[in-house]
Amino acid sequence: MRLLQICDDGSLTLTNDIIVDIDIPAYTILSHTWGSDEQEVSFADMTAGRGKDKDGYRKIEFCRNQTQLDGFQYFWIDTCCIDKTNNNEFSEAINSMFRWYQRAAKCYVYLADVGEAAATTHQENSGPEFERKFRESKWFTRGWTLQELLAPFSVEFFGSHGQRLGSKQSLRGLIHEITGIEMKSLQGEPLSNFTVEQRMGWTKGRKTTRPEDKAYSLLGIFGAHMPLIYGEGEENAFERLRREIRRNYDWVLERLPIAKGSAFDSHSEEPHRKCQPNTRTEILQQVDDWMKDTDGKTIFWLNGMAGTGKSTIARTVASRATDSGHLGASFFFKRGERDRFGTSKFFSTIAAQLARRDLSFAFHLKSALEDDFSICEGGLERQFESLILKPFSKTFKNVKENSMIFIVVDALDECESEENVKQIIDLFSRASDTISMSPRLRIFATSRPDIPIRLGFEAVDGTHKDLVLHEVPEPVIRHDLSVYFQCELETIRNEYNRSVSHSRRKLQVDWPSSSDFEALVRMATPLFIFAATVCRFLADRRHGNPDKNLQKVLRYRTRSQESKMDNTYRPVLDMMLMGLSRRERTEAISEFRVIVGSILVLAEPLSASALATLIDVPQDTVDDRLDMFHSVLDIPSVATAPVRLLHLSFRDFLTDPEKREQSEFWIDEGDTHKTLASRCLQIMDSALRRNICGKKWPGESIESFDKLKIQDSLSPEVTYACQHWAHHLKEADDDIREGQVYGFLKRHFLHWLEALALVGKASRSIEAVESIRQSPNLQGKGEADLSQFLAEARLFITENLALIEWTPLQVYYSALIFAPEGGLIKETFRHELPKWVRADLATSTYRNKDHAEGVTSISCSDQQNLVASGSWDSTVCLRSITTGALQRTLKGKGQTGKITVVTFSPDGELVAFGSEDGTVQLWSTNTGALRHTLWGHESSIVSIAFSHVEHNMVATGSYNKVRIWRIDTGALYRILAGDGYSLDSIVFSHDSQLVASGWFGMEIRIWETDSGTLQQILKGRRPADLLASSRWDGRFSPEHADALYHRFETKAGEVEIMSDWITLRGGNLIQLPIRTLSHGKNTFPIEVCRKILHGSTPVIGYKDGTGTFIPLNLQELQEMGIKEL
């Protein structure tokens, strides 16, 4: 960014281009409409010290004078601060314009068509003349001025004589009428609070000189960035803009782990209500006061004992913040739901919601993820800084004075790790660093007053405000409970009365009696969960009519707080046993412990049908038992929807260790986990198999799998077992036989990975394996073998995770083929290897230690059984493919620079290599003697090809020329020119009558070898690997113009190496291994220098000097049908 600086004598000078934001001084900025290009002062005029005689210089003088009056020294004007002859600078300026206007201390709008008379009448408050002139100003019809109105906080309007007309705030009503822009936006409401269509609508009636600028002028308004392509047309420009608007958000969502159902308004939170009208008014008022207090604490901590209504208040706060446009994100922890129980997806989920709220935040978040893909795998502090705080600080600056964005976090006490909770509290306290920003980041959090959480807040004293629910005065709580009961009981009475026909059965208008009502309120105080549970119990007709149910509840009156929780749940539980014999009672309790106990400890909720299969209990039995618990469980009417706990206190009540001897309903969590772990293993053992979806090709990507087919092949209980069996194993109290676990892994380890990949959860396998390794609950004679297997399994998964996620069946192909020989994984699953991989030869990887530097190119000779490797060190090494032994090293004579390409002649008796200096040398592979040095290319050699007939010619390519040489003499035979395109590859036809050259300009040129005549140019495809690796028979017919690639196909059934795959008839078989290099936090792939097929052995060479040989039985492979494959 360049600025105009006002010197002491009033003259102007341009600053250097300021790159770093913090180095930019305070500045003002001009918004105006352009006159003719000849009359505007350009960057070239300003640097040359001319242009003062142009009409546009009046605007510069005005801006200088106003800037000085306002106490500033720097200002910016688009006409003369951008070098428009520099395309890169111009494109960067267009993409940065919104930000530059947004960060300006003041924006001066110069209305050249509003004269002094209009301003005078405005000052005298005789408005019609001013209003008419103001409305008619050309400034309101131009496309670029929209962002110049919206981006800056301070906008002042001036007439053609420099007279002040008013500000954006004082004129906002008139501006709203003229532009149709929502008043809130003119008052500084973040643009992210307005929909894409609303913002698009603001451009209606605006014009730009170039049609594409209608879209480009909106880049900043949508926080989008894209290159400028003048000439693409308005329609294409808007289409690219819409794609870019979605791209940043979509890109972010694809890469961020998100905890589904954690937002306050998610489907899983639907059964839970917000506060009833006229309840919790004093508490909500305190929260509202904090939300509006610009000097308030960073965190509002609402705490209270179980059942006091914290989550209901949190949902209400989040809803109100949404309505006001200030909710940034929400996260409701929930024990028993895996993603909402831990913290691994906590900050990434919040970041995703912030990205959804603001596209500019999504852009900065995308940049952070591009810089470091491993952020989401890092610690909480790193995630908070990189995913939340830094993108937030870059996005929200000078948006609106004293505004705030809120994050609502509920039930911190339901997070699995106490240490993580304390760390989250500490990190949230750092949001106070946003106090210098606008908007500021605020956090509303709720929890029980557990000791670790109290200690966490004490450690950040001074950054939070507390409100303790159970210390709210009892009269306030009783009032709120009374209002709640009045509303709910009236609804219950009306619904019941509508459902019965006889008047004698209807409930009286005054039901319940005042004494019963008061008794209910006393029993509930201070537990809102009691009130909610009782109302659901009263409304449940399975237990009787509402009045009978009420009388059952009133029998449990007591005063002690501990007994109050008994009073909440015992009426529901006792109803299950009412009227049963001793035997039936024992059976009911046993089934209750299995069914409800499983619901309590599941890692994520399941439907009743999936639960029945998982725990091996008849569906009817599960349904019958669950029918009794609608008041404590969310049991949906849709059969496939999951059953959930309505409140964590029900779980706490049933699993409290102190109730073990006191309550017949007590549930042993450890024993339940053990049962579930065993059932998961049994279910997977019977369901998992290779290629469970029946795909034809092993290289098909996950995108090609039919989602319905995956669901049919992997039922919900199987999917659950695959994801969570290790979790239940770890949480089991008693030992589980090692043989059961190891036996499963030896049979189904690869099938399990395939299944996880199909449901998009392959990464969970790492956590699962690690969990099993650390489990204290395994015992048996084979512990050492299992430990070794798990260690190898973790390495196997880590090295192949990306491959398995994208192409699940490659777990049996590439992943297994390239697993270390002699390891447990390879030996255990050798029977899973495809039949066309030769079992008598090992897949081997070698490191070439004979080159001093990295390898740049490799080539193989079938006839000579040699592989040649060229290096940066200007040497070529010849090795035996069979033994890997070095045969000889060839050092380029007179060549300077690295070897760029190596190629054998068809008979393998010659090897040619080219270098960076443009020379090509031909060497005898038998004697190691130099035959010829070919001079003439002016730049680096990129391709070499030998002719097939008589082997008497070699073609070499560099930049935009192909040279054909005689092998016997080394003489130049022909030069073929490419007219400016960069050469990519060369190949002779089999009869050597034609030579084809591929160019990066996406075309293939066909020449006659003898005459050098250009025969044909085929455009529209990039033929790089194709020409270099295929056998071309010289045929190019117009009827094949729409299938260019098929012109180069090999004979049917032939195996090829295409891109990163070994293919058969165009279908992907084996993905080639990707070698990586770690550097700091990031991992980079090591580039492949060549992939070739030698006999039955594909050979891949890497630029770090390593090579891989893959032993295939090509004859068997080519004879096999797809079904056998």
* Inside any domain, residue 660: no
How confident is the model over 718-771, as pLDDT tens digits? 999 999 999 999 888 776 677 889 999 999 999 999 999 999 999 999 999 998
pLDDT band at 121 (very low <50, low <70, confident <90, very high): very low
Q: What is the pLDDT of residue 938?
A: 79
Structure tokens at 733: 């109290």
Domain boundary among 526, 551, 578: 578
What pLDDT, on a 0 to 100 scale, did the predictor assign at position 1089? 57
Instruction: Give the C-alpha separation, 519 to 875, whole Å.
Output: 95
pLDDT of res. 412: 95
- At residue 778, what are phi and psi to the nearest 5 degrees? -110, 135
Strand partners, 737: 779
The 8-class DSSP code of residue 389 comes to I
For 705-750, give the DSSP string. Answer: S-HHHHHHHS-HHHHHHHHHHHHHHHH-SS-EEHHHHHHHHHHHHH
Containing domain of residue 536, as a range? 475-578
Amino acid identity of 414?
A: E
pLDDT one-digit tens code per residue, 605-659: 999 999 999 999 999 999 999 999 998 999 988 888 999 998 888 999 999 998 8
Q: Is 584 within a domain? A: no
Q: What is the arithmetic mean of pLDDT over 184-204?
A: 81
Q: Are 396 and 296 within one domain?
A: yes
Q: Do both 318 and 423 map to the same domain?
A: yes
Integer Cα distance of 160 and 109 in angstroms? 10
Q: Within this chain, do residues 807 and 862 fall inside the same structural domain, yes or no?
A: no
- Identify the pLDDT of residue 440: 81
At 979 the pLDDT is 61
Residue 555 placed within a domain: yes
* Domain CATH code at residue 645: 1.10.10
Range 72-89 average pLDDT: 89
pLDDT tens, 782-831? Answer: 567 888 999 999 999 998 998 999 999 999 999 998 888 889 999 999 99
- Give residue 672's pLDDT band: very low, low, confident or very high (50, 70, 90): very high
Q: Give the per-residue pLDDT at 691.
A: 95
Q: Name the phi and psi angles at 773, rounded to 5.
A: -60, -35
Query: What is the reported pLDDT for 1029?
Result: 41
Other beta carbons less than 10 A from residue 369's beta carbon: 21
Are both 51 and 169 inside the same structural domain? Answer: yes
Q: What average pLDDT does range 576-603 have in this prediction?
A: 94
**How many structural domains comprise the chain?**
6
Indicate whether 640 and 688 sit together in one domain. Answer: no
Tell me the sheet residues that pair with 302: 446, 467
Q: Which residue has the higher pLDDT, 522 or 394?
A: 522
pLDDT higher than threshold 50 for residue 48: yes
Query: 690 and 566 in one domain?
Result: no
pLDDT at 929 over 80: yes
Residue 262 falls within a domain, yes or no?
no
Question: What pLDDT, on the 0 to 100 scale, is given for residue 417?
Answer: 86
In a domain, 585, yes or no: no
Q: Is the pLDDT of residue 44 over 70?
A: yes
Give the lowest-confidence range in 190-204, 308-322, 545-559, 1080-1094: 1080-1094
pLDDT value at position 780?
55
- Give 313-345 pLDDT, tens digit per residue: 999 999 999 998 899 999 999 987 878 988 999
* Both tokens assigned to 437: 């920003």
pLDDT in tens, 704-730: 999 999 999 999 999 999 999 999 998
The pLDDT value recorded for residue 1074 is: 67
Q: How far is CA 267 from CA 253, 340, 676, 711, 1067, in A?
A: 19, 14, 27, 21, 42
Residue 1107: which pLDDT band, with cuts at 50, 70 and 90? low
Buried b (16+ CB within 10 A) or exposed e, 1083-1122: eeeeebbbbbbbebbbbbbbbbbbbbbbbbbbeebeebee
Same domain assignment for residues 547 and 571: yes
Same domain, residue pair 771 and 847? no
Residue 762: strand, helix, or coil: coil
Across the beta sheet with 875-880, the strand order is: 855-861, 866-871, 875-880, 886-891
**pLDDT range class, residue 1035, cuts 50, 70, 90:** very low
pLDDT band with cut points at 50, 70 and 90 for residue 1042 = very low
Better pLDDT: 1048 or 977: 977
pLDDT band for position 1036 (cuts 50, 70, 90): very low
pLDDT at position 822 is 85
Same domain membership, residue 443 and residue 457: yes
The three-class DSSP label of residue 232 is: coil
Per-residue pLDDT for 261 more than 80? Answer: yes
796 within some domain: yes
Look at residues 550, 578, 606 and tell me which one is the last residue of a structural domain: 578
pLDDT at position 1104 is: 62
Give, in order, the Cα–Cα distances in Å from 633 to each of 338, 532, 716, 858, 1010: 18, 12, 20, 66, 85
What is the pLDDT confidence band of residue 849, given thresholds at 50, 70 and 90? low
Most distant pair of Cα atoms in the chain: their distance: 118
The backbone torsions φ and ψ at residue 452, rounded to the nearest 5 degrees and listed phi first, read -60, -35
pLDDT for the residue 1041: 34
Same domain? 119 vs 182: yes
Cβ atoms 649, 565 nearer than 8 A: yes
> Comparing 77 with 121, which gets the higher pLDDT?
77
CA distances from 1124 to 434, 833, 835, 1075, 1114 (A): 63, 13, 9, 30, 14
pLDDT of residue 755: 98
Q: With 80 as the cut, is the pLDDT of residue 1020 above it?
A: no
Question: Is there a single domain that holds both residue 240 and residue 361?
Answer: no
Pick from 263-272, 328-337, 938-947, 1107-1116: least confident: 1107-1116
Give the domain-ending residue among 800, 832, 864.
832
470 or 6: whose pLDDT is higher? 6
Q: Given this model, what pLDDT does residue 6 score? A: 94
Please check whether residues 510 and 448 belong to one and the same domain.
Answer: no
Average pLDDT of the chain, as a whole number: 84
pLDDT in the model for residue 1044 = 35
Q: Is the pLDDT of residue 238 over 60?
A: yes
Q: Is residue 1016 part of a domain?
A: no
- pLDDT of amino acid 747: 96
Rounded to two decimals, the pTM is: 0.64
CATH code where residue 461 lies? 3.40.50.300
pLDDT at position 117, please? 58
Whether 1010 maps to a domain, the answer reads no
Tens of pLDDT, residues 342-378? 899 999 999 999 988 877 788 788 888 888 878 988 8
Q: What angle do helix axes 474-499 and 514-524 make, rounded to 10 degrees?
A: 130
764, 727 Cβ separation under 8 angstroms: no
Of residues 193 and 404, more confidence is placed in 404
Q: Which of 15-19, 541-545, 901-905, 1040-1044 has the lowest mean pLDDT?
A: 1040-1044
pLDDT score of 250 more than 50: yes
Q: What pLDDT, on a 0 to 100 scale, did the predictor assign at position 707?
A: 92
